[in-house]
Chain A
């Protein structure tokens, strides 16, 4: 993602189209992604190709949705709204969490933009880690990101300028390993919060990275969108 690593490609225009179409994998994909992170013009071109390809949807065949799906979706919304949260089901739908953890997360993250509610006070401040997130535009001052291992979330001051039609996804990066996909940022009061749940607690020294991804997060489990901020976690 450093400009010095910028690969030589026979035809970068085609690489943008290939990345947008989703045909690359392995090292070719990694090269194109690094290019996308490093080169805003290339990133714009990828987005233009995504928009072009989206028009293919006009030619996808309609198929009548199975009977009962609408009712099940509504029933799910009823249950989650009745439990005081319209978002629990969504987090459950990520199929990652025990219901207890999901409910805890939802209680923290369910509010919509504009809600007066803010993040609950953190119980164990000393357990938190903080990263100074340097923004890739190089102009804006770094922003703090707080990792709360009790709630397994990362909080940052809002608002986060997420492009229309995209999601901001959090990643954990340790030396020599692929980025581990974490959650998507959601507005909570005047902060933005992302779930940061992995198999184990995130350790000091881990680098947090934020990328812009297609709605719902990276479809591949690896970063596909431009890197917008990164910083290493350390103890408060």
Chain B
């Protein structure tokens, strides 16, 4: 799959193509489903692999996610949801399902998780960031490093307080305190930016 063209800001045409592919997939259009896969599979595989931390499992979850998308696409409402958030949420939930069902990858120390270095934001990324979503990112950047790391780990790795605390080898109460203070600051910042 070709690397999407890198752009400094969102490409409305890219978003329109994604919405169109998703809506047509909901009408059981196989060509549109293929387009949807090409546009989104790297993003979704990244989400899944981070949570599963196991390539073979992530591959199986990815298959399952696209079968789910095929079936659920008819329920997508273009006016109400961001297409990539809708798709990525399905991927995240499936991956967390897998991880909790198997109990795997819970105790991998963070520094043993391969760092997934990306070169540049993809077209999908700029689409997301531009969808009136800059506020959260700006607010997250105001957090101190520990708060930010813990919140990001909860989201990207699909971890609970207890799991993050164990991974980072800090007491549970300390971890909760970091995250709660971070969430309070996020809330204040988000409220101020509205």
Residues of A within 8 A of B (CB): 11, 13-14, 17-18, 21-25, 50-66, 69-70, 72-74, 76-77, 86-87, 89-90, 93, 112-113, 162, 164-165, 214-217, 219-221
Contact = CB atoms under 8 A, between A and B. Distances in A.
A73 B81 contact: no
A109 to B, nearest CB: 11
Nearest to B50: A60
Nearest to B4: A62
Interface size range of chain B in the complex: 35 or more
Contact of A65 (B42, B82, B158, B186): B42
A196 B152 CA distance: 36
22 contacts: A11-B184, A13-B187, A21-B151, A22-B96, A22-B154, A22-B160, A25-B160, A54-B88, A55-B129, A57-B43, A57-B84, A61-B117, A61-B118, A62-B42, A62-B118, A65-B41, A65-B62, A69-B63, A77-B30, A165-B89, A214-B93, A219-B96
Contacts of A61: 46, 50, 116-118
Interface of B: 1, 28, 30, 34, 37, 41-47, 49-50, 55, 59, 62-64, 66-68, 70-72, 74-77, 80-82, 84-86, 88-90, 92-94, 96-97, 100, 116-118, 121-122, 124-129, 131, 133, 136-137, 151-152, 154-156, 158-162, 164, 179-180, 183-184, 186-187, 190
Given A23-B159, A55-B85, A86 B93 contact: no
B110 to A, nearest CB: 15
A70 B44 CA distance: 13
A214 B47 contact: no
Given A57-B85, A73-B37, A93-B67, A17 B186 contact: yes
Contact of A64 (B34, B42, B84, B152): B42
B49 A87 contact: no
A113 B72 CA distance: 11
Nearest to B115: A61
B128 A58 contact: yes
B186 A57 contact: no
Contact of A66 (B59, B88, B179): B59
A22 B158 contact: yes
Contact of A216 (B34, B82, B90, B137): B90
A74 B184 contact: no
A216 B87 CA distance: 11
B187 A214 contact: no
A216 B75 CA distance: 12
Given A25-B161, A215-B90, A216-B68, A63 B45 contact: yes
B128 A86 contact: no
Nearest to B42: A62
Nearest to B156: A60
A37 to B, nearest CB: 20
Contacts of B85: 51, 54-55, 57
Contacts of A25: 160-162
A52 B139 CA distance: 11
Given A62-B118, A164-B75, A164-B81, 13 more contacts: A14-B184, A21-B151, A21-B179, A51-B85, A52-B136, A53-B155, A56-B152, A57-B43, A57-B85, A63-B42, A66-B59, A66-B62, A69-B41
Contacts of A23: 154, 159-161, 164, 179
